[in-house]
Amino acid sequence: MGFSMCKHLMKAGNQVSVYNRTMSKAQGLIDLGAKASDPISIAKEVDYLYLIVSFPEDVERMTICPQNGILKHMKKGSFIIDHTTSSPSLAKKIEEEAKKYGVYSYDIPVVGGDLGAKNGTLNVMAGGDKEKFSEVEQTIKPYCQNIRYCGEAGSGQQTKLINQIILGHNITGVCEAIIFAYKAGLDVKETINYLAKGSAASTQLSFYFPRMEKRDFEPGFYAEHFLKDLKLAVEECDRMGIKLKNLELVTEMFDVMCKEGFEKKGHHGLLLLLEKMNKLKAILVKNWIFNKLLGR
């Protein structure tokens, strides 16, 4: 996602320096004119520093780690914009540290996956200083279609976790419905497409069912990263003193999915786990004919 987001920034006329732990992944940007650099050098030079990595520990190591953290090297009055889905409490901790150096910190996780990043149609939710947010908003517009300021530091992360709770429930329901329809001997495609016209409709159903039908489980984002998000939501529930049993169950399912070897599939690859658990393969294309032939 970071590659495409950075490409949009360059198309908008910005001078860009880039770093990736695997620099070959940034070569396409370098070929377009981006400057290859290292985190500390970038921190010293830029007015806006964008970060998108995998896990909260990566964010912490990159920003406030005593040895390699970049915040202490950033210019006074500059901005750090973290697009990683991470911990709300960590976002607050980073902002507190950033203030010591006169740096403005914003947690701005994104929704839309690889396709949204490529098309410049990401939805973002931001937490941080409201007075300076208009400046941040202008810088991220090249790759966003919807931008919402959510409140103080950590609010962007909390809003993203709410999104992931809804998404997790929806995709689990879609996958379980497919297994149920298949085992009942119904035409899965006809049944699901019909129900998608009513109150069962969802983005998860309309966007991911056609991919599952084709047995396309390649990721827009990895299941292991989605599991990370769900675990962060459970941790935030614990911090707030609430119990969300469905969230806990969905998290357990994705934990099993990753342990069963499907961690690099898309989150809709949960269907593969359910097939394995039920010892069947829901052949979606013309599956009704297969069911009849097999006497199911």
pLDDT score recorded for residue 285: 59
Dihedral sign, Cα of residue 180, residue 184, residue 186, residue 191: negative
For 259, residues 6+ apart whose C-beta sits below 8 A from its C-beta are none
Q: Residue 29 and residue 166: Cα distance in Å, rounded?
A: 34
Q: Residue 187 and residue 197: Cα distance in Å, rounded?
A: 16
* Burial (0-12, 13-18, 19+ Cβ within 10 Å), 83: buried
CA 174 to chain centre: 19
CB atoms within 10 A of CB 146: 11
* Burial (0-12, 13-18, 19+ Cβ within 10 Å), 102: exposed
CATH numbers and ranges of domains, the chain: 2-152 (3.40.50.720), 159-294 (1.10.1040.10)
Indicate the pLDDT class of residue 254, thresholds 50, 70 and 90: very high
Q: Hey, what are 146's tokens? A: 């919807």
pLDDT score recorded for residue 289: 47
Mean per-residue pLDDT for 203-217?
93
pLDDT score recorded for residue 292: 47
Checking if the pLDDT of 295 tops 70, the result is no
Q: DSSP secondary-structure letter at 261?
A: I
pLDDT score recorded for residue 282: 87
Mean per-residue pLDDT for 249-254?
98
Q: Hey, what are 266's tokens? A: 């898309």
CB atoms within 10 A of CB 89: 16
Dihedral sign, Cα of residue 170, residue 171, residue 173, residue 174: positive
Closest C-alpha among 170, 145, 269, 178 to residue 217: 269
Average pLDDT, the chain: 94
Q: Hey, what are 282's tokens? A: 């829901």
pLDDT score recorded for residue 288: 43
Helix (H/G/I), strand (E/B), else coil: 163: helix
Q: Cα–Cα–Cα angle for 89, 258, 219, nearest 5°?
A: 85
Q: Cα–Cα–Cα angle for 194, 198, 202, nearest 5°?
A: 95
Checking if the pLDDT of 7 tops 60, the result is yes
Query: In the chain, what percentage of residues exceed pLDDT 90?
Result: 92
pLDDT score recorded for residue 94: 98
Checking if the pLDDT of 293 tops 60, the result is no
Among 110-114, 124-128, 287-291, top mean pLDDT goes to 124-128
Q: Residue 128 and residue 160: Cα distance in Å, rounded?
A: 14
Mean per-residue pLDDT for 35-56?
96
CA 229 to chain centre: 8
Any idea which residue has 């499907």 for tokens? 262
Q: Residue 284 and residue 165: Cα distance in Å, rounded?
A: 27
Q: Residue 90 and residue 254: Cα distance in Å, rounded?
A: 24
Indicate the pLDDT class of residue 286, thresholds 50, 70 and 90: low
Catalytic residues: 160
Q: Hey, what are 54's tokens? A: 């995998």
CB atoms within 10 A of CB 54: 15
Lowest mean pLDDT among 108-112, 121-125, 285-289: 285-289
